Amino acid sequence: MELQFTKMQGIGNDFVVADCLIGGALSEDTLQSASKFLCDRKFGIGGDGVLLVLPSNGADYKMRMFNPDGTEAEMCGNGIRCFAKFVYDRGYTNKTVITVETLGGVKSLALRVQDGAVDQVKVDMGAPGLERADLPMTGEAGTALAQPVKVTGASVLVTGVSIGNPHIVYYRSPATDESVNHLGPLLEKHPLFPRRTNVHEVEVLSRREIKMLTWERGAGRTLACGTGACACVVASVLNDLTDRSVMAHLPGGDLLIEWSEEDNHVYMTGTATEVFTGAISLPS
């Protein structure tokens, strides 16, 4: 079977986008096996995930996202900005505010259009989940704020936040690749997290700026994580390390994250870029 696709990226987080509004959706089994192949940077196209553009009964569109290991993610912040650019630039909508159904809930997106194409998207990510059960994380009910977690004989203080998908945040200055490459896989699969978790190392630069490095569940090291940036800012506010409006610096670029006091929602603003289009034969 031949798949028509579009390669897109949001601050270095790259995706293979499959248009399922025309031609119908592939079966879940096919999608899971195909995602491994499509995300392979040597034998496939290469990407941090596969995005499916689908119709929705309760929103304007529906997004499904599959990781490079074949698992399905609840949400993807950088991916949903690419999704919004795809449906607008392809002429599926002329609205500059759209809703997208995800496993992490329905998200509202405001599109900034320049010269007939989307160049920036502000996403209402909803209210963060702060309870251990939201991740989920085993243990007594309540929040996980600067919670000590033992890995390889050391203790790491982590704060847990759900942005429709699970995240834990720990702090180190300076943040280093060596640290997150070591702790990331250990924390991702720690027994405390029965559904695994995304892991972020944060260096606080000021009350309005952070630097973050990411180990993504099911993908490993990535240049950016939109939901992760939201989680990092929420965690930093909870630990009284930053204000509620913060510029997050990721290896692939910057995201403006705002945690509103008015509605308790987290807002993420960033770019989205189309890289190329093509067709590929899926393995049988």
Catalytic residues, which ones?
A: 76, 225
Q: 232: which 2 tokens?
A: 């990092």
Q: Measuring CA to CA, which residue among 3, 85, 72, 62 is closest to residue 38? A: 3
Residues 6+ apart with CB under 8 A from 183: 151, 156, 170, 199, 201, 215
Number of CB atoms found within 10 A of residue 104's CB: 22
d(CA 166, CA 19): 27
What do you get for the CA distance between the two ends of the chain, in Å?
8
Q: Measuring CA to CA, which residue among 81, 86, 72 is closest to residue 17? A: 86
Number of CB atoms found within 10 A of residue 35's CB: 26
Gyration radius from the chain CA atoms: 18
